Amino acid sequence: MLTGFLFLLFLTDGVYPERNCSYQDVLNHLNLTKNNELYSMSRPVKNYKQPTQVSLELLLYAILDVVEKDQKFIPYVWTVMRWQNEYISWDPNEFCGIDNVSLPTEVLWKPDLTIEEMTEKDKAPPSPYLTINNKGDVEVQNDQVLVSTCRMQIYNFPFDIQSCNLSFKSIIHTAKDIRLQPSDNSSEATEWSREVMRTQYEWLFIDMIVTANNVSDINNQDVVVYTITMKRRSVLYIVNFLVPIMFFLCLDLASFLISDSGGEKLSFKVTVLLAVTVLQLILNEILPSSSNKIPLIALYCIGIFALMLLSLLETIVVMYLMEKDSACQDNGADNDQNLSEDCSKQHKANLHNCLGEKHNWTECTCIYDVSTSETPCELLPVAKEENSRKLIEEFHALEQLSDDLREMEKTLSLLLSNKKEEEKPGYWTKVAKNVNRVFFIFYHREDRGVHELFRPLRVMMLAGFLFLLTLTGGSPFTEQPELSDDQQMSNDSVPESGGTYNDTEAQIDDDEIDTDSGETCSYQDILNYLNLTKNNDKFTLTRPVKDFRKPTKVHLQMVLYGILDVSEIDQTFVPYFWIYVKWENYHIDWRPNYFCKIEEVVVPNELLWKPDLTIEEMREKDKAPPSPYLTIDWNGGVTLLNDLAIVSMCRMQVYKFPFDIQSCNLTFKSTAYSDKEITFEAVEDRLKNTEWTRRLMRSQYEWLFISMTAENKTVHELTIQQSMIVYTIKMRRRSILYIANFLVPIMFFFGLDLASFLISDSGGEKIGFKVTVLLAVTVMQLILNEILPSSSDRIPLIAVYCIGMFGLMMLSLLETVVVMHLMQKDSASEDDEADKDHFNKKGKVSLHNHDGEMKKWTHCACVCDVSAEEPPSELLSMARESTESLLQGNSSQLTDESNALEKVSDELREVEKTLLLILNNKNEDGKPGYWTRMVKTINKFFFIFYVTVASLFLLVIFLMWNLAQDE
């Protein structure tokens, strides 16, 4: 028998361990099933006065994105949450050494931790399991992709260091229920995050500071704040933004070497200025408008832009002075030319008088075929007349040649004098050179002043270049980051701790915990007493009233946590807020004295009926994770706390943009119930709502929160009459960046258009300059069109401002076109007169050629110094012989010389014509015609009209901006 008993005992020992070596055996031992509400319905403590200790660990895996414009921080984090479940316990020796089991997350109660800054639901898939051990410790590991708000400090952009908070707290439990503490200190969290870091986007992770504090707000909850500090990688911003602007500034400095006489310098400067404007518009797309101070990089761009604008204005003034000097020289040249023409005419008249005197040819005769019947006295006058005619023709040819040479000499003298006058600077040219010299010194000193102002930027740029060259990942900054107000308050109130927390207000004395009293001190006992289970339809299906004629009063309170976005073009308003909703459930009632004075119980929200609350303006579903729990109290009160991030409709009044104040409504009402079934009432007044909102505000985007009001209404909609609460949120736009990047540049362009009146109308530089400035304003107007909606009842003032500036510049451009047309008309008339004069001269030359044709004189001789002693027959024979010999030799010689002189005279006339054309083209502006004089008068009157109208327009616009009522 003893042997058999030992054998049976051996068999029993062999079977028992095998039967208890599965996880299900542990679950069966604990009676841990999905239907056992002991584990999932309420906080897992046997005495409600005992808080649940929750430890939290966070590791930063990646920095996915940082959006300055939207004030968003998107990290990828790994969280580990641990707490104690007092209903879980087993002996591992009884279950083959099993000391931990993995279970589905929905089986057990979990702390309702949320992140205050989170505005959208976790994008990563949640962990489906949690782990329990034999001592009752529960651990949940989860990876999360968080979209959170973060107030960016962009004053030092792109050399900024940002600090973003992740604040963990319970949604509904107070510090008496859940004590939240970090499991690691700052140094450990920083070290481990660096080891597991996967990607950092354009940032360098610096450290993570862990603080635990007990916030003294309306909920009195423990909060663990993880402050993630990171530094921007600024190399690409240096290379692609700061350095190009510096290069453009150097180009503008180099433009002082370009001559001021032509239009190349003006075009060069305008092109460089427009390039800086494009970069400034790109910067406007990056930086948010939420900064209280203008970022240094915006001051850098505005300073460079202003210096280049000043340089451009100086160039216009210098060109105007040189044009004025050139006009003075042209007037002097015209006077000299008139004086030269008078002297030439006088000289020519004297020459004609001198050449017109006839020489007395005495004792000279011409013999022509003397016949025996003719007497010598008849032949002598004929020879004398023929000789005199030839000499006169020869003098005419020489006179014409002399006139042509004088005209050529006069033209060359004018060209040489103009060239010398150009080489010799006039008074205004000297003044222009002095202005250039003084302005260059001033410009250089101002540039040095800008560099002194941005000395930190230069140091940072140098460090960035060193980083680019060495690629060592060195930091150009060593100072601590600028913390926001709430971060500073958190760090000042609670010192750094590893696993410790501040419990100044929520400290629970051990004396208050009476575990040996023998009373019922479990939340589950109350739930059992109420029969509050997941399968009890009494609490979930219908409105919780005993008499259907009695309406359910719903008390509602809203606290605005953040203004995430306001889109004018889409007419949307994206707020992040918390709501407090309370109503009466007449099916819930217990006596606290019977349950250890338990007055409140936190239960899953799916166990009870809830008002079908909706927001009338909401166009997209809530992006924030819903609250998993609600609170019930002993007299039937039900409280729900929830955070919402919604996209709502809001009609924007942009008449005063960017100095506008917007009012957006959030209307809470029931979806299906009428006012006979549900009535809404606001909990707090306007002052308290506004005060709490200002104190708890996390992010305001580009807006400044002003106030929030609540109003109860009863409205008849469709077929039923409903009760509703309308919250009106008023906010003012931060307009400083719009002024710096939009209004001021347009005013600068208008100043350039005014300065263009100093540019000469004769060339094409002025019209090209005006067209370029007008196109720049057009680009600004297109950008404005992307911002403003088309739903406004009235044209916004900023659109009127742009259209007015555009209209004035367009009018100025049209005036320039008309002026150039009139001057072209004057130039055309001068060209016609020049062609007419040339035709007259050509006619005179042909007439001279016609009169200069040589007649053939044969058998003619000139006899001079006839003595009375010689007989006539001898004289006649000698005259005949000499006449024949002279006519034979001199006739051919005179003909050849006359032809040569005519050829030279023609060539000289062609040269003179070419020189006159050159001189006329060079001095075409020197003689102002009728239309040119009219143009000067038109310019003066239009400038006065232009300045007057522009001044009145700007005065009216700014008065309307200041005095118009906010809609």
Structure tokens given for 631: 């609170």
Q: Considering only CA atoms, which of 395, 378, 355, 388 is closest in space to residue 857? A: 388
Where would I find the H helices in 110-241?
A: 186-196, 235-237
User: Pairing mode, if any, of strands 552-567 and 678-682?
Assistant: parallel
CA-wise closest residue to 633 among 601, 591, 592, 594? 601
Domain annotation covers residue 780 = no
Profile the chain (967 residues) by mean pLDDT over runs of 10 residues: 48 49 90 88 87 93 89 92 94 91 92 89 84 94 91 88 93 88 92 91 93 68 93 91 91 86 82 85 76 82 88 86 71 56 52 44 39 46 57 70 71 64 61 69 58 49 43 38 42 37 38 44 87 89 90 92 87 91 93 89 92 90 82 94 90 89 93 92 80 84 89 85 93 87 88 87 82 87 79 83 92 90 75 58 47 40 43 47 52 63 70 66 59 84 93 93 77
The reported pLDDT for the residue numbered 507 is: 39
3-state helix, strand, coil in the chain (%, to 5): 50, 20, 30
Give dist(CA 222, CA 234) in Å, integer. 38
Q: How many CA atoms lie within 13 A of 110 on its CB side?
A: 24
- Note the Cα 515 to chain centre separation in Å: 67
The tokens describing 558, both together, are 């809203």
Distances (CA, A) of 759 to 214, 638, 804, 955: 70, 79, 23, 27
The whole-model pTM stands at 0.68
d(CA 46, CA 590): 19
Assess if residue 176 is contained within a domain.
yes
Q: Is residue 49 part of a domain?
A: yes
Residue type, 61: Y
For residue 194, being part of any structural domain is answered with yes
CA within 13 Å, CB half, 957: 21
Closest to 130 measured CA to CA, from 108, 90, 110, 103: 103
| Cα 473 from Cα 619, distance rounded (Å) | 46
Residue 330's pLDDT is what?
60
* Distance, CA of 805 to CA of 809 (rounded, Å): 6
- Alpha-helical runs (H) found in 701-796: 736-738, 744-755, 765-787
Q: With CA atoms as reference, report the closest residue to 294 among 589, 735, 667, 706.
A: 735
Three-class DSSP category at 653: coil
Domain boundary pick from 733, 749, 771:
733
Residue 957 near residue 800 (C-beta atoms within 8 A): yes
| Structure tokens that stand for 390 in this block | 């030839």
The set of residues, in sequence order, having a beta carbon less than 8 Å from that of 564 and lying 6+ positions away, is 70, 71, 119, 149, 574, 575, 576, 645, 699, 701
Question: Is position 573 within any domain?
Answer: yes
Which pLDDT belongs to residue 6?
47
Task: Give the residue among 483, 484, 499 at the shortest CA–CA distance from 211.
Answer: 499
Q: Which of 229, 237, 209, 68 is nearest to 152 (CA)?
A: 68
Q: What is the pLDDT of residue 821?
A: 86
Among residues 690, 714, 733, the one where a domain terminates is: 733
- For 297, the enclosing helix (H) or strand (E) is helix 296-356
Q: Where are the beta strands (DSSP E) in 671-702?
A: 678-682
167-to-26, 66, 99, 121 alpha-carbon distances in Å:
37, 18, 33, 15
In 3-state terms, what secondary structure has residue 594?
helix
Q: Which helix (H) or strand (E) holds 941?
A: helix 930-963
Q: What is the CA radius of gyration of the chain?
A: 52
102, part of any domain: yes
Which CATH number does the domain housing residue 705 bear?
A: 2.70.170.10
Q: Which long-range contacts (CB under 8 A, 24 or more apart) does 852-858 make?
A: 852/393, 852/396, 852/397, 852/898, 852/902, 854/390, 854/393, 854/894, 854/895, 854/898, 855/389, 856/891, 857/386, 857/390, 857/887, 857/891, 858/887, 858/891
The pLDDT assigned to 919 comes to 60
* 676: in domain: yes
Note whether residue 956 is domain-resident: no
Residue after which a domain boundary falls, among 232, 252, 287 = 232
Query: Domain count of the chain?
Result: 2
Q: State the residue range of the domain holding 144.
A: 23-232
β-bridge mates for residue 580, sequence order = 557, 641
d(CA 706, CA 661): 9
